[in-house]
Structure 1
Amino acid sequence: MHKWLRYGMIFLCLVGFVFVRFRESALFYDPLIIFFKTDYQAQPLPEMETLKYLLNIALRFMIHMMLSLAILWLVFQEVGIVRFSLILYVAIFTVLLTVLTIMINNAGAESYRSLFYVRRFLIQPILIFILIPAFYYYRKANRP
């Protein structure tokens, strides 16, 4: 694949991340967006449809995962890296969505900060910013 075409496709994936971020309120059901923008420590969690919320979190995570896997393929062009990343994404998603569900069902003001960060990890493409340098370092360290 031509180098400039790869760069263009990486740019389009990044635009996808930006689009999801700036249209999040219109695209996804997330009553906690407004909640965490207020003085949330003194308030109970807002009423929400938990299943609908978790499905929207899952959809958003899957969109980020697909864009991230595309970027990893475009940057490294190694099936092993994409396969390992997919397994990692699925494992992290499973663990964090389970933790998020438990936290929502047992939410108290003392756990709001943890809820905020677990939710943040699920709705933001944070993992790609960890994986690219990690795989770059791995490649560099394992080249003769």
Structure 2
Amino acid sequence: MNNFFKYLLVFIGFLLLALIRFYESEIFYDPLLNFFHGNYHQLAAPDFELWKIFGTTIFRYLLNTFISLGILTLLFSKNVFKFSLLIYGVLLLVLAPIFCICSP
């Protein structure tokens, strides 16, 4: 693959990650985003649907994972891809249940 094309795809990948972060409040259901941007130390947490927020959090994690794995695949070897895939998968399996248990 042409180096210019490879780096262009990497740039697009970083741009996609930035766009996901920039538009996260419009794309994903997360009432806690606005809560934590304010003076949350003195306020009660807003009501939210646990399974809805869990689903959108998993979707956001997977979307970011696929883009990140694409960037890693373009920049590094297949061994880095395999290791990163393992790390992302293990973290998902460990952190998702913790998210459900610790949510009010």
TM normalised by structure 1 equals 0.69
Match of 1:42 in 2: 42
1:91 pairs with 2:59: no
Q: Distance in 1 between matches of 2:60 and 2:44?
A: 25
Q: Distance in 2 between matches of 1:101 and 1:22?
A: 25
- In structure 2, list runs of 5 or more residues that go unmatched: none
Q: Distance in 1 between matches of 2:22 and 2:56?
A: 16
- Following TM superposition, where does structure 1 have runs of at least 4 consecutive aligned residues deviating by more than 3 angstroms? none
Superposed CA offset, 1:66-103 (max 9, x none):
01100111101x22211111110011122222222222
TM normalised by structure 2 equals 0.93
Q: Identity, % of aligned pairs?
A: 31
Cα deviation for residue 43 of structure 1 reads: 2.2
Cα deviation for residue 42 of structure 1 reads: 2.1
Superposition CA RMSD, Å = 1.1
- In structure 1, list runs of 5 or more residues that go unmatched: 106-144
Which of 1 and 2 has higher RCO (CA within 8 Å, sep 6+)?
A: 2
